[in-house]
């Protein structure tokens, strides 16, 4: 099983929004990274539209509805908090995957997964709201071995494990004592629970190979911040190639 690479275009949209001239273009970048071999595109349209705007969602949906060769086999993943507005959006656009995150509207970024004990009913309600999309539904979870079975019992199709703590601990003593073992245990628990596992947040060219070694059952990594920064330096084609080399070597 080869882990799929889904490129998150939030930061391309963030840069685009600084001027009124429309570039860098989100759709053009999506086509470029897919032609370079990425397996999918992820976006996270936040309520304040700080980066991905509603127009981007429709433009990317139109791209994925096309018969362009780079679209064949590629997946469109939309992340967000399951509000009524978000549900209406994904139920209209019908992406391949929807990833539910517990973020408050003004959250700086996604820094935690769902707490199934205190917010399980909220997540179950959100899951019901987005089921009409027909998409595979994933929930963002913390690196906690108890989380995958709770997600499966709630009826989710996949989990996406938050890798921000793993990335933050990289190079510190806490990495080997806490962050890495917690991630590996969560991946093993997902396997044991029979629920597919995605991963994301602050993965990059430095830490991805180690992560995949600890989580060999990871079906998809969604990467945005680092890959965009690296592409500013290396270009998209070379950057995507380097990620695919790491994935294929895992």
Ligand X SMILES: CC(=O)[C@@H](O)[C@H](O)COP(=O)(O)O
Ligand Y SMILES: NCC(=O)COP(=O)(O)O
User: What residue numbers does the annotated binding site cover?
Assistant: 8, 19, 46, 51, 109, 202, 224-225
The DSSP result for 44-57, as a single string, is ---TT-SSS-HHHH
Q: Does 152 bind ligand Y (CB under 6 A)?
A: no
Binding-site members for 1-deoxy-D-xylulose 5-phosphate are 46, 51, 109
Q: Which residue in 184, 226, 240, 246 binds ligand Y (CB under 6 A)?
A: 226
101, 123, 203, 208: which one binds ligand X (CB under 6 A): 101
Is residue 97 within 8 Å of 133, Cβ to Cβ? no
Q: How far apart are CA 222 and CA 5, in angstroms?
A: 6
Backbone angles phi, psi at 100, to 5 degrees: -90, 125
**Of 69 and 175, which CB lies nearer to ligand Y in the complex structure?**
175
User: Could you tell me the smallest distance in angstroms from the CB atom of residue 150 to ligand Y?
Assistant: 19
Q: What is the rounded distance in angstroms from the CA atom of residue 98 to the CA atom of residue 133? A: 8
Our finding on whether 38 is near ligand X (CB under 6 A) is no
Q: At what angle do helices 147-154 and 180-193 cross, to 10 degrees?
A: 30
Contact flag: residue 42 with ligand Y (CB under 6 A): yes
Compare residues 173 and 232 and give the one whose CB is closer to ligand Y: 232
Q: Which of 183, 162, 41, 184 is nearest to 103 (CA)?
A: 162
In 10 A of CB 82, how many CB atoms? Answer: 23
What does 158 bind: ligand X, ligand Y, none (CB cut-off 5 to 8 Å by kind)?
none
Identity of the residue, 3 or 42, whose beta carbon is nearer to ligand Y in the bound complex: 42
Question: Site for ligand X (CB under 6 A): which residue of 77, 110, 142, 207?
Answer: 110
Closest by Cα among 102, 110, 99 to 220? 99
What the block records as the tokens of 191 is 């396997």
Q: In the bound complex, what is the minimum distance in angstroms from residue 139's beta carbon to ligand Y? A: 12
| CA-based radius of gyration for the chain | 17
Name residue 6's beta-bridge partners: 40, 222
Cβ within 8 Å of residue 2, ≥6 positions away: 247, 248
Nearer to ligand Y, 45 or 200 (CB): 200
Smaller CB separation from ligand X, 110 or 239? 110
226's contact among ligand X, ligand Y, none, with CB below 5 to 8 A by partner kind, is ligand Y
Residues with catalytic roles: 44, 79, 201
Q: Which of residues 123-152 bind ligand X (CB under 6 A)?
A: 140
Answer yes or no whether residue 207 interacts with ligand Y by CB under 6 A: no
Q: How far apart are CA 89 and CA 53, in angstroms?
A: 12
The residues that touch ligand X, with contacts defined as CB under 6 A, are 8, 10, 44, 46, 79, 101, 109-110, 140, 200-201, 222, 224
The residues that touch ligand Y, with contacts defined as CB under 6 A, are 8, 42, 79, 160, 200-203, 222-226
């Amino acid at each position: 099983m080869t882990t799929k690479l889904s490129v998150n275009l939030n930061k391309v949209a963030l840069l685009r929004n600084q001027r009124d001239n429309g570039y860098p273009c989100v759709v053009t970048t999506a086509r470029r990274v897919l032609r370079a071999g990425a397996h999918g595109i992820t976006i996270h349209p936040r309520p304040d539209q700080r980066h991905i705007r509603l127009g981007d969602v429709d433009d990317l949906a139109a791209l994925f509805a096309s018969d362009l060769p780079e679209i064949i086999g590629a997946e469109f993943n939309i992340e967000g908090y399951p509000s009524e507005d978000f549900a209406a959006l994904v139920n209209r656009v019908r992406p391949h995957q929807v990833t539910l995150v517990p973020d408050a509207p003004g959250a700086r970024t996604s820094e935690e997964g769902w707490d199934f004990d205190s917010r399980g009913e909220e997540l179950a309600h959100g899951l019901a709201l987005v089921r009409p999309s027909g998409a595979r539904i994933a929930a963002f979870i913390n690196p906690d071995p108890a989380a995958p079975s709770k997600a499966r019992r709630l009826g989710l199709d996949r989990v996406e494990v938050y890798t921000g703590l793993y990335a933050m601990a990289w190079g510190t003593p806490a990495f080997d004592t806490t962050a890495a073992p917690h991630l590996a245990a969560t991946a093993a628990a997902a396997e044991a629970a029979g629920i597919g596992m995605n991963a994301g947040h602050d993965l990059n060219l430095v830490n991805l190979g180690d992560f995949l070694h600890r989580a060999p059952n990871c079906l998809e990594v969604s990467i945005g911040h680092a890959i965009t920064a690296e592409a500013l330096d290396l270009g998209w084609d070379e950057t995507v190639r380097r990620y695919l080399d790491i994935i294929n070597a895992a």
